[in-house]
Amino acid sequence: MIPAENATRFVGKDGMVCGTVEKARYAEGSEGQPTFLYMGGKFPRHTFSARIDGADRGKFPVAPESLEGKAVCVIGKIARDNARAEIVLSSPSNLKLATIK
């Protein structure tokens, strides 16, 4: 388990990044209609985001932005997005509600 605040240290590796979704945003007016789950600090100073492309959004049983304020873990390849780390989620099996202590 990698805390969202430390995810940038693991860019290029597969991992499970956990934290509280500080803000969730469905950017339906943007190219690809992505949904972002911002973690690792308050938006816009967050250190990590999970991105769900619009084409994959329908695979999720609940609207991903309903996860705002909840603790989650996301599993996948950690990439760099500007100065932040990011995992692109294409399946609900890569997103878990978490109990963070």
Q: Structural domains in the chain?
A: 2-97 (2.40.50.140)
Q: Specify the pLDDT at position 18.
A: 96
Q: Model confidence over 20-58: pLDDT tens digits?
A: 999 999 999 999 999 999 999 988 999 999 999 999 999
Query: Is omega for the bond preceding 3 within 30 degrees of 0, making it cis?
Result: no
d(CA 52, CA 64): 8
Model pTM above 0.85: yes
Which residues face 72 on adjacent strands? 19, 97
Quote the tokens at residue 13.
């590796």
Q: How many CA atoms lie within 13 A of 65 on its CB side?
A: 11
